[in-house]
A and B are shown apart, each in its own frame.
Chain A
């Protein structure tokens, strides 16, 4: 049955994609499941969608032309559609639905006894009630806005030669201690700046400022990660020096910050040996997103059953290219290797950076 108006035209959908007119086409083959967001049981809501995707049914997609999409939606025809009610169905077709509406163009409506057929023009499209349904193909990245802000940050960092690292880890991995040691070691060698991300308090920024390095604290409130917009609003408040090193300490969270590009050159993930060697497999996204893993708190290894080889192996299963450096921020082990890594990566960045 027609999913739009129930007119019995078969498993069809109509619409306009990228502005093109779509024919009303009959569809056969496997069907796709549509589910209301608020249908009972989220399990049931998302599972069929996966099945559909895994169904490897190239025919189901088989567009007639690149601009055409035909899709079967048998469920919807028998479903009440309260979502269509609030707007768009009132005579006059005003979004606000108030009296100031201008009458809708009726030229495409064909009338036969007991049947109002909308979209009777060249499109020969069907419609529900007084409004016509269309499929708009938009193909927009959900994180597109964050990514474009991150790209703007990156351009600005490149122009000023600001080498930026995004430090990510679980809470309590020793990020701030490592930062303090790093800043102390690099003081006088190059201009330094820090952005601290935490849900609440300015404790970490205060610890950084004690080293003499300017630090800006971003409190995300309830937010579980920094995003590019937050960093963009921090930049003008920081007076970043040319050719400086900017270290961004993200919110302690081994999940969400993986998805949000801030405009950094590298993500550096810190895994402390007290956390267990299986973290890279338990939280793979962060290890996949990072270019370097610092294995921190190695001074505690004698007291733990942590298997360093396994931790590195697991991290490389997730990300074969990840570099690994063992460090102890409190005792200073491995710190020189970490500083070398920074200086080398920074040199590579400055060589390639577009300074225009």
Chain B
């Protein structure tokens, strides 16, 4: 449900940036969402479509780049790949894996149309 809040935050970041950079339109938004972040990407895309309507980013293509989840195994002391918070360590099978990466939620970049100015 909080995807709507997230979408509104994305809109704010996108429009703030667009205004600061004086761009004409936003054509694409690249988001980085960690595998372990509490985000339902389909819901986020749905909400983004709604909140970007009527703005200079209306109809922008949105791509979500997934960031792999990582965890530190407290038993074998390795950093391992996990896709869920409760995945066991692929090396030693222990469930004592502390998530250490993949919770990112970022607006990575914007594809914008400038006012014809050179690069």
Residues of A within 8 A of B (CB): 13-17, 21-22, 32-38, 42-43, 45-46, 49-50, 52-54, 69, 76, 81-84, 86-89, 93-95, 104-109, 118-123, 125, 127-128, 130-146, 223-225, 227, 253, 255-256, 258-260, 280-281, 284-285, 287-288, 313-314, 316-321
Contacts and interface: CB of A to CB of B under 8 A. Distances in A.
Contacts of B46: 42
Interface string B5-43: 110011011000100011111111001000011100110
A82 B58 CA distance: 9
A142 B119 contact: no
A105 B119 CA distance: 12
B76 interface: no
Interface of B: 1-2, 5-6, 9-10, 12-13, 17, 21-28, 31, 36-38, 41-42, 45-46, 48-49, 52, 56-68, 74, 84-86, 88, 95-99, 104-119
Given A53-B68, A138-B13, A46 B116 contact: no
A82 B88 CA distance: 47
Instruction: Report which residue of B63, B67, B116 has the largest number of chain A beta carbons within 10 angstroms of its beta carbon.
Output: B116
Nearest to A39: B61
A127 B23 CA distance: 14
Q: Taking chain B's interface residues, is the majority helix, strand, or loop, or is none over half, making it mixed?
A: mixed
Given A15-B111, A37-B49, 16 more contacts: A38-B59, A52-B63, A52-B66, A83-B27, A83-B59, A88-B115, A104-B116, A105-B118, A123-B119, A131-B24, A131-B115, A133-B27, A133-B111, A259-B38, A288-B85, A319-B85
A49 to B, nearest CB: 5
A147 B108 CA distance: 17
A40 to B, nearest CB: 12
Nearest to B66: A53
Closest 4 A-B residue pairs measured CB to CB?
A88-B24, A123-B119, A108-B118, A53-B66
A38 B49 contact: yes
A320 B74 contact: yes
Contacts of A255: 1-2, 38
A89 B86 contact: no
